[in-house]
Structure 1
């Protein structure tokens, strides 16, 4: 019985177009990876710069001593804060959930400023000041320019947010998040999401982009005021302990 021999398949010769396509594909992957690494690397560098600047500004706001053990937050009427001028630094925010997180809060979130927000965070100038009745609303980038709110979706119910001003330490507790389109501005109303109501309580609202690297939506984190203590009392003990544990 004679063996059957199959004809060898003709070799496919690489064409200029196919080689060029593979080279472009490889280049695209390499460039994309480099750009992603560069953006992440520059974010880390700027984030460290913002951290250092916030620490320095915090020292200028008052003594960095720690309050005495057993010092409790006050729940009476907080001191009256004074707004600063546009583009000036206003306060420092601490969020232990994010580790040793300190960021300066600047004044105003006009489009021109928020697009080049280098100090870290910015207060919505139409909102309340820290500790005031109403909505203390803060904006920050999720990615780029230090990405202060990259981990905003990692907050857990009960996590505390601390604000240091020249007058006092203000403490808020995180309650919930919401995903909204950029047009839903009611989240920064005096009573979040309820613009028809007058504020009878103190809130904090943190806003950033969603998803990562996209302006298509917004991630909103809401919190409520739980108390304050005078700046001369020193840093709240629980914050000092959290920062020490994250060091």
Structure 2
């Protein structure tokens, strides 16, 4: 009887140790997935941005206010539009004033996880418009993990600016027009005219896509916007990016 009891206790002990080990491994995985990938991702994306071939922004003339940056004058004519680059090429950055405190995020060609979203940041959907182009400049980003560039996407409000800077040294300032939550199968949100497949676009739009709700891929959170204005970086910095700008 005692031998049987000892065997049962021994088996329970082994099972308990296995469960504890599995719990420790699961906790370690969660720490890696939810925290460490952000640390590594933010470092990598900051390095990518630092190495982009941007021209220096202009500085004030000696006769001007030396402490104030040069503000770019908005242009509303047809903007220059770059050609879609090869896969995984970083060609632009994105800044969202509403996300105060968030770093500048790189935008690269493609939206697969292995070579773009997990390692480079924001991804541009193949075949959609390039920044400033007529149609839909559609981009995707993680909401959690891997530096989570779109973590605060639900904070965006109608009228908020989204500022894109391309490696051919052009600013594009878009304004949010709407948000929606859709199923992952609703790919029409990145059509040239969002929600109207086959329609001919006449506007210069932007669409941001990410998973929804938080920590789930059950749905997609979508933000749409239209181009407000553009400016060469040689003209200065968009007022939306300056301290105190709304």
Which TM-score band applies after superposition, normalised by the shorter structure?
0.7 to 0.9
Distance in structure 2 (CA, Å) of the matches to 1:112 and 1:31: 23
Aligned match for 2:209, one of 207, 213, 222: 207
Q: Which runs of 5+ in 2 are unaligned?
A: 1-7, 60-68
Distance in structure 1 (CA, Å) of the matches to 2:27 and 2:233: 46
Distance in structure 1 (CA, Å) of the matches to 2:48 and 2:235: 20
* Alpha carbons of structure 1 residues 44 and 80: separation in structure 2 relative to 1, 3 Å: closer
Work out whether residues 54 and 102 of structure 1, in 8 Å CA contact, stay in contact via their aligned partners in 2: no
Distance in structure 1 (CA, Å) of the matches to 2:50 and 2:121: 14
Structure 1 match to 2:55? 62
Query: Deviation at 1:133?
Result: 0.5
Three-state SS of the structure 2 residue aligned to 1:161 is strand
Structure 1 match to 2:97? 96
Q: What whole-Å deviation, never above 9, does each CA across 1:168-188 have from its counterpart, x for those lacking one?
A: 100011222211111111000
Aligned match for 1:52, one of 36, 43, 46: 46
Query: Deviation at 1:117?
Result: 3.0
TM-score after normalising by structure 1: 0.79
* Alpha carbons of structure 1 residues 238 and 25: separation in structure 2 relative to 1, 3 Å: same
Structure 1 match to 2:184? 182
Query: Deviation at 1:22?
Result: 7.7
Work out whether residues 68 and 237 of structure 1, in 8 Å CA contact, stay in contact via their aligned partners in 2: no
Structure 1 match to 2:158? 157
TM-score after normalising by structure 2: 0.79
Structure 2 match to 1:4? none
What RMSD in Å do the two structures reach over aligned CA positions?
Answer: 2.8
Structure 1 match to 2:62? none
* Alpha carbons of structure 1 residues 175 and 24: separation in structure 2 relative to 1, 3 Å: farther
Work out whether residues 42 and 146 of structure 1, in 8 Å CA contact, stay in contact via their aligned partners in 2: no
Q: Number of residues paired by the alignment?
A: 227
Query: Deviation at 1:207?
Result: 0.8
Q: What whole-Å deviation, never above 9, does each CA across 1:192-230 have from its counterpart, x for those lacking one?
A: 111132101011001111222322221111111100111
* Equivalence map 1:82-231=2 (5 Å): 82-98=83-99, 99-110=101-112, 113-114=115-116, 117-165=118-166, 166-231=168-233
